[in-house]
């Protein structure tokens, strides 16, 4: 048995994988594979409608928001957001809480002025900034809810008198959020929603179209709203897997239910890290992520032995990001608590033998 703690693409529910595998062979008795059906067909119309309906239901998306399925990953949204929302000569505010937040701000600077209102770069992004002033003359505030590389997460979201844009790539659907507090949410699917290849955008209908600049057709949110994400051929299979994953999430009780399980998983692992003399966490306690748990060995010389132990026992994806090293356990929705229990038992055994 494999225990997949990979940071992304992350683990998917077995039920969703099996349903998607069957659809590759034969979609609903059509005699066609999901890989070869037309994106203009009634079969895909039903898939797209069901996926949108599940997003709306699970996140309680208000009626005055559009739900889009786009390509290019969250990294393309780094450009699309300012291109569509930042007026020529205007200013945007960014909270720099990690590498991806920094990359988003870098792209925004191509389209206007960017004010970094807060940053945790001074301590290698081991905490989430919480105290900062939001400039009233900025067109929007950009935040990142969870930082996969450094294992930090926003416990709560800022109250803002300007539009709020949030990159929720690595923790969307892991906990309830009040969508009405955000003007635009974007998320790459490959953590909690589905496979790589599709990006979810949830946006207030009146937020775009005010930049005063010419926007390439494919990078204009208006294009995708007016064409129901079907302006060009969408990633049909990736959307289907998202549908199957969200159906699974609904069946097990939805976002509120999965939040309880995610909290149990995180508490279990953090408790072991804090009590085990061989390990230490890297993120400040009040900024710890429930999705990505980052930690180090107190004795770096034991890294090779611990890594070998993980490999021998089928634990994969635990290696930390190349920029920070150490270990990172990603506890995405589909990861069973039994995998966390197994990892904890290995850590305990390792400490007994090497303490």
Q: So which residues are the catalytic ones?
A: 100, 167, 191
Classified as helix, coil or strand, 278 is: coil
C-alpha distances out from residue 166 to 39, 186, 270, Å: 29, 6, 26
Report the candidate in 100, 139, 137, 135 with the shortest Cα–Cα distance to residue 116.
135
Helix (H) and strand (E) counts for the chain? 9, 14
Answer left, alpha or beta for residue 264, where phi above 0 means left and psi between -120 and 50 means alpha: alpha
Torsion angle of C-alpha atoms 324, 329, 333, 338, degrees rounded to 10: 180
The label of the residue with tokens 């007016």 reads 226
- Residue 82 belongs to what H/E stretch? helix 73-85
SS3 (DSSP) at 14: helix
Distance in angstroms (rounded) separating the CA atoms of residues 184 and 81: 9
Contact in structure between 287 and 128 (CB atoms under 8 Å): yes
User: Shortest CA distance to 114 belongs to which of 126, 102, 124?
Assistant: 102
Whether residue 144 contacts residue 291, with contact meaning beta carbons closer than 8 Å, is answered with no
Rounded CA gap, 237 and 23, in Å?
9
Q: Containing H/E element for 141?
A: strand 141-144
* Residue in this structure with the two tokens 């270990």, named with its chain if needed: 327
């Amino acid at each position: 048995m494999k225990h997949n703690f990979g940071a992304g693409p992350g683990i998917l529910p077995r039920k969703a994988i099996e349903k998607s595998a069957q659809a590759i062979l034969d979609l609903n008795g059509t005699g066609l594979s999901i890989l070869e059906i037309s994106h203009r067909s009634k079969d895909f119309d039903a898939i797209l409608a069901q996926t949108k309906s599940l997003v709306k239901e699970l996140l309680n998306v208000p009626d005055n928001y559009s739900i889009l399925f786009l390509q290019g990953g969250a990294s393309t949204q780094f450009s699309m957001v300012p291109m569509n929302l930042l007026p020529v000569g205007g200013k945007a505010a960014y909270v720099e809480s990690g590498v991806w937040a920094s990359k988003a701000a870098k792209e925004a600077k191509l389209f206007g002025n960017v004010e970094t209102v807060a940053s945790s770069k001074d301590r290698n992004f081991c905490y989430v900034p919480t105290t900062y002033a939001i400039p009233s003359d900025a067109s929007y505030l950009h935040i990142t809810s969870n930082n996969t590389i450094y294992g930090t997460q926003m416990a709560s979201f800022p109250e803002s008198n300007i539009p709020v844009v949030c990159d929720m790539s690595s923790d969307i659907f892991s906990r309830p959020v009040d969508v009405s507090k955000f003007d635009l949410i974007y998320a790459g699917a490959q953590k909690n929603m589905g496979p790589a290849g599709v990006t979810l955008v949830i946006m207030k209908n009146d937020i775009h179209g005010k930049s005063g600049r010419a926007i390439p057709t494919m990078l204009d949110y208006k294009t995708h709203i007016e064409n129901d994400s079907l302006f060009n051929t969408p990633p049909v299979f990736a959307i289907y897997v998202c549908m199957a994953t969200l159906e699974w999430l609904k069946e097990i009780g939805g976002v509120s239910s999965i939040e309880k399980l995610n909290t149990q998983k995180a508490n279990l692992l953090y408790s072991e890290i804090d009590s085990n003399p061989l390990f230490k966490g890297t993120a400040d306690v009040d900024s710890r992520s429930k999705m990505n748990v980052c930690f180090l060995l107190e004795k770096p010389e034991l890294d090779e032995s611990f890594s070998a132990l993980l490999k021998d026992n089928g634990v994969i994806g635990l290696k930390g990001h190349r920029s920070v090293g150490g270990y990172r356990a990603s506890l995405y929705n589909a990861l069973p608590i039994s995998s966390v229990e197994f990892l904890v038992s290995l850590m305990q055994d390792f400490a007994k033998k090497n303490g």
